[in-house]
Structure 1
Amino acid sequence: MTGNPFDGIREFVSAAQSLSFTAAALELGVTSSAVGKSVTRLEARLGVKLLHRTTRRLNLTSEGEAYLASCLRVMDELAETQGFLTTGQQEPVGRLRIDLPAAFGRRHILPTLIDMAVRYQQLDLSISFSERLVDIVNEGIDLVVRIGSLKDDAEIVARRLGSQSLLICATREYLHRHGTPQAPADLLQHDCIVGWRNGTRKSWMLVDEKGQTNEHDVRVKHEMGDGEMLLDMTLAGGGLAQLPTWLVQTPIQQGLLVPVLEQYAGAEMPIHVIWPRTRYIQPKIRMVVDELLALARRDAGIFRPDQGVPNPQGS
């Protein structure tokens, strides 16, 4: 490879973000032909096509999208380091893409992230909500909060925030019509409302007489995409649901829901914050992780932090 390995990157990033050589030229103070030539030389050096050119606009190729994401990530890290060297204080800089579980994320994680975005004006957030298992490495997600057991994965790092305890409940009207289950086997005779999971076994976690947590099959009546939907269907009398205590505590206190199979309740699901494993953790990721760990310690009633529990993917 000859020449400066960084030649053309600034021009490519500007053109890729605006999808226009003309707009990139105005931003950089050069001619559009100079921008186009710089990007063409960069493509030749890399041996891949980054941009599709048409008479009307530019479009990123799949290789161009991946390269743009890498360039932006490196530029963010350089900006963070420069800010630290200039001010002597580390401050999160650049865009951070975060994916959260819908109900729990909106209620208990999002307020902290909004507070951080207000405090740190150079931090840009892209927040999404989903319950699926995302591929954080290939999907370009910087940080994920997930509830449930994790699989061993050498490409990620996980820190445990705590756990959530589960209860099975229904409305009095539903129990009056269908009866109250007395044993786990009765769940196969009831209308059960479960979280939607593509291709996964429909089961609930129950605690046996020895205190061991086991999966029990249920008869599925309704599948819902997130916890709030599960709660709404349960409150409407749609059936039994297994829900976290933080979500059903108030409806139970108000008499809107009734816990059942309480002798088998108490199963717990871990809550983790997860990010891609790299040799160098970006300051913005580390600062968000630290904020979430502090939140879990402050709000022990929700997160139920447990000490001394190993993290499957290290720390």
Structure 2
Amino acid sequence: MKFENIGDLRVLVETARGGSLTAAARVLEVTPAAASAMLKRLEAQLGTRLFERSTRAMRLTPQGQTLLDYAARALELLEEGAGQALSESGALRGTLRVAAPSDLGRGVLLPWLDAFALRHPGVHIALSVSDRVQDVRRDAVDLALRYGAQAADSQLVARPLYTAERVACATPGYLARHGAPAHPLELARHNCITLHIGGRRELRWRFEGAGERVEVAVDGDRSVDDGAIARDWALAGAGIVYKSALDLRAYLRDGRLVPVLPGWQGQRYVLHAVLPSNRFVPARVRALVDHLAACFEALAGEDRAAASG
């Protein structure tokens, strides 16, 4: 069967993603009426309904789901082919869908992404910042930045970028009021700001130092699934937070936050660039991964220089 209008397939894909024709119309920059007409034309051409329509939502029929799987891949391949053709002429073009943890995205990545955008004006960067682990394949993400074991998946390719150490820290004001713990076990007597990781509240913090490994049970009056909010609570003097030193780099440097256990090492996690393994990687994605790798290597060089005095 020959499809007369590729735009009709785009309506199918975006309606499935957004859950409504209005959402699809917004993405495709057409009117809802035009999107509806395109979907009806596609259904008429196929002789079958692709969605079950109701006043609340549009739900894919089995036939619609089958076509969606093929249409999404076909449109993706077309976009990649166009991007590759343009990249061979020296210009990178197309959309880069990037997902990153909230604090890392806001505090570290933004200037690096700005530099990349200036170098490649034909690339549109669509950044999603959230501490929810996104499904790279289902959510149509080109590149996700993930810490540690979150990167492990046989259907994904993970390139290590940086080794980050978690640090327990608080404001000087909090420590003046409550005192600084001399040993990790003393954290049990402090108000600890905890994170929800993978849907579970993290109530055990791990440290190494003085020839021993310690796992301490912590608690406090605040917990959150967003690392940026946990950081802001710590900056407000609400308690001790245990987060990647990479995310807190600027605040540790200017003294707004200080490590509470300087003789102890927190857990280490490798930050990965994660992308699907089952498809061709567009030149713009490879270019961004290389750019971020260079930025993180420069950061690691600064860390080594600071450690050597």
TM over 0.5: yes
Given candidates 80, 83, 86, the residue that maps to 2:83 is 80
Partner of 2:6: 10
For the residue of structure 2 that corresponds to 1:221, the secondary structure is coil
For the residue of structure 2 that corresponds to 1:263, the secondary structure is coil
Partner of 1:311: none
Structure 1 residues 119 and 66: CA distance shift in structure 2, 3 A: farther
Partner of 1:162: 162
Query: Counterpart amino acid of 1:167?
Result: V
Query: Counterpart amino acid of 1:241?
Result: V
Q: CA RMSD in A?
A: 3.6
More moved, 15-24 vs 225-234: 15-24
For the residue of structure 2 that corresponds to 1:78, the secondary structure is helix
Query: What is the deviation of 1:170?
Result: 2.2
Partner of 1:239: 239
Query: What is the deviation of 1:296?
Result: 1.5
2:205, 2:137 → 1: CA distance? 30
Structure 2: runs of 5 or more not aligned: 13-23, 305-309
Give percent identity, aligned residues only.
27
Aligned partners of 1:164 and 1:303 also within 8 Å = no
Structure 1: runs of 5 or more not aligned: 26-31, 305-315
What do residues 92-146 of structure 1 show as CA deviations (whole Å, max 9, x unaligned)?
Answer: 3322221111121122223232333343343232211011222212222221012
Aligned partners of 1:147 and 1:271 also within 8 Å = yes
> 1:114-193 residue pairs with structure 2 within 5 A?
114-150=114-150, 152-193=152-193
Aligned partners of 1:8 and 1:39 also within 8 Å = no
Structure 1 residues 117 and 22: CA distance shift in structure 2, 3 A: same
Partner of 1:40: 44
1:69, 1:245 → 2: CA distance? 39
Query: What is the deviation of 1:274?
Result: 0.4
Aligned partners of 2:194 and 2:219 also within 8 Å = no
2:4, 2:185 → 1: CA distance? 66
Aligned partners of 1:246 and 1:302 also within 8 Å = no
2:117, 2:49 → 1: CA distance? 36
Aligned partners of 1:168 and 1:265 also within 8 Å = no
Aligned partners of 1:91 and 1:283 also within 8 Å = no
Partner of 2:204: 203
Query: Counterpart amino acid of 1:286?
Result: R
Q: Number of aligned residue pairs: give it.
A: 283
Query: Counterpart amino acid of 1:260?
Result: V
Structure 1 residues 241 and 272: CA distance shift in structure 2, 3 A: same
What do residues 175-211 of structure 1 show as CA deviations (whole Å, max 9, x unaligned)?
Answer: 3433322222222221101223322442223114447
Query: What is the deviation of 1:152?
Result: 3.2
Aligned partners of 1:164 and 1:271 also within 8 Å = yes
Structure number with greater Rg is 1
1:98, 1:145 → 2: CA distance? 8
> 1:103-114 residue pairs with structure 2 within 5 A?
103-114=103-114
1:22, 1:109 → 2: CA distance? 39
What do residues 233-289 of structure 1 show as CA deviations (whole Å, max 9, x unaligned)?
Answer: 123221112233345455455554442222223532211110111152222222221
Query: Counterpart amino acid of 2:6?
Result: R
- Alignment of 1:102 with 2:102, yes or no, is yes
